[in-house]
């Protein structure tokens, strides 16, 4: 698909199933362990699950909820959950301890630094993951090196640099930056790769990162239950698929007998999961090139192998969205119907909302609406994975109408 393709594309999941070994790593027990670790941080608080009743009525749905990660640890995005937990798991493993023995107070102690020493954590990022890793490393007195792909904005780089990380913008795409960071980590004494994607031979740390993301899923589950809701549908975005794998893995374990309809949503310019699902033989299809999209956090062309195994077994559908879908979602959140709360959702956070709106209001997507069984009885949870992490881009979307229609692709506006 070219970056100028302006039609939402989708497929139901017809992939051959596997032995499904990875879903067990996203069990309620593992997510509770990660959540207990995050609760040890003084910055921890449960992020809102906002109920948009007037929007639900407007769309012809029973309920619409959004898990708003713009409040996470003051970093405006969910990614810190994974990076911090993976660093803690690595340090505890090196010390022969369980992660429950190294809460925040221990990790930041002088005694631990004497026992563990100092490591250099390497990562590649489009913005939020690197900021989360850098923040965690800085809080724990560790070093951090971050590489960012071409097209990254100065604002995103500056956020990471403020966490005392060494950060560069490379003339490479995201996946090439991942390979660069892995190479440098391997060549550095006490260098460790903390990456939110997995490949053959590198799966333990990405699994820990996904378990860290499980804190968000666990919180949302408890909040839904407290509101008397058993979700019928979950919409979650994907870059490499780590967040989607964590959320879908959790809810697959939570509702084993009758899981919700769970939809994986990608940027059209980097839709490796959708393309893999379309191929339908179980193999992964990579996307290469610059992957131009406003959804910077989703501009990833190679799927996480751990997450892919979960998604091919449990995702209901895979959807590829052009940029106008995300931009519309940002504007819907930012200009709510009277009586609904406003949600600040950045371009990578808002695509589930944009998709839900398109499916429920545009007759061109009636077949997708019917395939997903969306109707007046549906109780839908969306994930807004970030706030306005790039304020300039957020204003371009909301104030200036960036990607304001299906005839206005991002690449012609930059």
The pLDDT of residue 413: 44
Tokens representing residue 40 in the block: 């040890």
3-state secondary structure of 54: helix
* pLDDT, tens only, 163-197: 999 999 999 999 999 999 999 999 999 999 999 99
**Residues 177, 213, 109, 101, CA torsion sign:** negative
Q: Do the bridges between strand 379-384 and strand 63-68 make them parallel or antiparallel, or are there none, so unpaired?
A: parallel
3-class DSSP string for 266-295: EEHHHCHHHHHHHHCCCCCCCCCCCCCCCC
Q: With contact defined as beta carbons under 8 Å apart, do 259 and 314 qualify? A: yes
The pLDDT of residue 406: 61
Q: Do the bridges between strand 261-267 and strand 166-169 make them parallel or antiparallel, or are there none, so unpaired?
A: unpaired
Task: Please calculate the CA angle 45-163-294 and round it to the nearest 5 degrees.
Answer: 80
Q: Is the pLDDT of residue 347 over 60?
A: yes
* pLDDT, tens only, 2-22: 345 799 999 999 999 999 999
* pLDDT, tens only, 388-412: 999 999 999 999 999 986 645 545 4
**Residues 376, 265, 320, 274, CA torsion sign:** negative
Tokens representing residue 273 in the block: 């999961």
Q: How far apart are CA 11 and CA 52, in angstroms?
A: 27
Give the mean model confidence (pLDDT) for residues 87-116.
Answer: 95
Nearest-10 Cα torsion for 278, 301, 264, 22: 90
What positions carry a catalytic annotation?
A: 79, 126
Candidates 256, 257, 263; CA nearest to 277 is 263
* pLDDT, tens only, 310-329: 999 999 999 999 999 999 99
All domains of the chain, ordered by start, with CATH? 9-78+205-412 (3.40.50.1100), 80-200 (3.40.50.1100)
Give the mean model confidence (pLDDT) for residues 227-256.
Answer: 98
Q: How far apart are CA 167 and CA 71, in angstroms?
A: 24
Laid out side by side, the sheet with 317-321 consists of 9-12, 317-321, 261-267, 233-237, 379-384, 63-68, 49-51
Helix, strand and coil percent figures for the chain, each rounded to 5: 45, 15, 40
Question: What is the rounded average pLDDT for all residues in the chain?
Answer: 95
């Amino acid at each position: 698909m070219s970056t100028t393709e302006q039609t939402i594309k989708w497929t139901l999941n017809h992939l051959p199933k596997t032995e499904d070994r990875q879903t067990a790593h996203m069990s309620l027990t593992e997510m509770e362990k990660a959540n207990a670790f995050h609760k040890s941080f003084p910055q921890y608080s449960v992020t809102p699950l906002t109920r948009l009743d007037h929007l639900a009525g407007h769309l012809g749905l029973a309920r619409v909820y959004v898990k708003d990660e713009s409040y996470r640890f003051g970093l405006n995005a969910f990614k810190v959950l994974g990076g911090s937990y993976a660093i803690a798991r690595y340090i505890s493993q090196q010390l022969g301890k369980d992660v429950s023995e190294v809460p925040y107070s221990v990790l930041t102690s002088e005694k631990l630094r004497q026992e563990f020493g100092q490591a250099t954590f390497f990562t590649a990022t489009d913005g939020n993951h690197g900021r989360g890793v850098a923040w965690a490393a800085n809080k724990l007195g560790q070093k951090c090196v971050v590489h960012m792909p071409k097209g990254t904005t100065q604002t995103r780089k500056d956020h990471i640099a403020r966490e005392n990380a060494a950060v560069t913008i490379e003339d490479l795409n995201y996946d090439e930056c991942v390979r660069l960071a892995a190479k440098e980590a391997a060549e550095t004494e006490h260098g460790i790769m903390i990456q939110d994607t997995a490949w053959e031979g590198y799966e333990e740390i990405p699994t820990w990162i996904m378990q860290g993301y499980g804190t968000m899923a666990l919180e949302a589950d408890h909040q839904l239950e407290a509101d008397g809701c058993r979700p019928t549908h979950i919409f979650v975005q994907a870059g490499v698929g780590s967040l989607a794998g964590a959320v879908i893995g959790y809810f697959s374990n939570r509702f084993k007998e009758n899981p919700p309809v769970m939809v994986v949503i990608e940027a059209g310019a980097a839709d490796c999961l959708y393309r893999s699902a379309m191929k339908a033989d179980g193999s992964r299809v990579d996307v290469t090139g610059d992957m131009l999209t406003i959804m910077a956090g989703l501009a990833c062309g190679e799927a996480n192998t751990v997450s892919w195994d979960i998604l091919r077994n449990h995702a209901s559908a895979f959807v590829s969205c052009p940029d106008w879908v995300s931009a519309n979602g940002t504007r819907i959140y930012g200009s709510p119907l009277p009586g609904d709360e406003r949600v600040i959702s950045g371009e990578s956070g808002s695509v589930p909302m944009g998709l839900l709106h398109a499916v429920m209001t545009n007759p061109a997507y009636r077949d997708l609406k019917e395939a997903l069984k969306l109707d007046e009885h549906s109780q839908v949870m969306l994930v807004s994975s970030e706030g306005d992490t790039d304020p300039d881009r957020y204003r371009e979307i909301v104030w200036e109408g960036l990607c304001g229609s299906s005839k206005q692709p991002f690449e012609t506006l930059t």
